[in-house]
Amino acid sequence: MSDSSLVRHLVWVVLIKLALLTAIWWSFFRSERVQADAGSTAAHVLVSPSSSGASQ
């Protein structure tokens, strides 16, 4: 397989993968919405490790 043939093959594979991932996203995740406000995001991010329930 020559270099140009390999590159062409890899480009097709990547394009097909992107198309399949887009189709999966469109089918299952497009309508999902996450509601987040600044307060809940800050509370989630600023949790100290000792209060998160993880054992040490």
Confidence at residue 14, expressed as pLDDT on a 0 to 100 scale: 98
Low-confidence ranges of the chain (pLDDT < 70): 48-56
Predicted pLDDT at 42 = 83
What the block records as the tokens of 29 is 């995740």
CA dist., res. 26 & res. 21, Å (int)? 8
pTM above 0.85, yes or no: no
Structure tokens at 16: 């097909």
